[in-house]
Amino acid sequence: MSGLKNPGGKRRWYLLNPLLRQVEDCVKVIESGADKYAPNNWQENVKERFEYYQSAIMRHLTAYFKGEKIDKDSKLPHLAHVVVNAWFMMWRDDE
């Protein structure tokens, strides 16, 4: 693709444009958790967080692979839950 310029070192956020609906689903998952528990509860109040989020990922992946696309409790895609829990694990791993 000639003519496109990548200004060195700057994030090309526009690359997420095809995924905006999926990103919004992930935000909805985080909002759902904030409503159910408390805002940012995922950071502070879950003992052994890494293992908790790993288990949550596996529960949502298992449901997805068994053919259930939408979580019955949140009414949001299981894969959005997987992504959000992976983000939480990434955040935890950075501590």
User: What average pLDDT values come out for the chain (95 residues) when binned by 10 residues?
Assistant: 68 94 98 93 78 94 98 97 94 72
Distances from the Cα of 12 to the Cαs of 4, 9, 79, 84, 94, in angstroms? Answer: 12, 9, 24, 21, 23
Q: Which amino acid is at 24?
A: E
Q: How deeply is 15 buried, as exposed, middle or buried, from its count of CB atoms within 10 A (0-12, 13-18, 19+)? A: exposed
Q: How deeply is 59 buried, as exposed, middle or buried, from its count of CB atoms within 10 A (0-12, 13-18, 19+)? A: middle
